[in-house]
Amino acid sequence: MVEINTLLDEAEKLSLLPDRFYLVLRPVEDKAGGFDVMAYDTTDPKKPISPAYYVLKGIMEMMDTDLDRLVSLGQMAVMDKMIEIQTKGESPIMENIDDDVVTKVDIGKKH
């Protein structure tokens, strides 16, 4: 019998568009603060190496060697945005913390 996670992984791969690099972070509930990382490359393997590939590999290397610093940088960016929102008299929630850098996509799943 095929596991549901295997089916989800295959469905994820089928949804990818050509000529792109993807870095997918998936929260893992059974680990405190944990997550899984998957990287996908849908580019033509016969073409020269793209600078985007180097960036992808650099991010993955940093996640391997300096994850604490990467998390700290992310936390500082979120805190800055929270302060900006609170200064406007609003409550910081995910809906108004996301900005132009992270595009929130509604896939129909209600939380």
What is residue 63's predicted lDDT score, i.e. its pLDDT?
A: 95
Structure tokens at 25: 């972070």
Question: Taking residues 44-49, what's their average pLDDT?
Answer: 96
pLDDT at 110 over 70: no
Q: Going by DSSP bridges, is the β-strand pair 21-28/34-41 parallel, antiparallel, or unpaired?
A: antiparallel
pLDDT at 5 exceeding the cut of 70: yes
Q: What is the pLDDT of residues 56-102, one digit of tens each?
A: 999 999 999 999 999 999 999 889 989 988 999 988 888 777 766 77
pTM, rounded to two decimals: 0.77
Please, which residues have CB within 8 angstroms of residue 9's CB and are 6 or more apart in sequence? Answer: 38
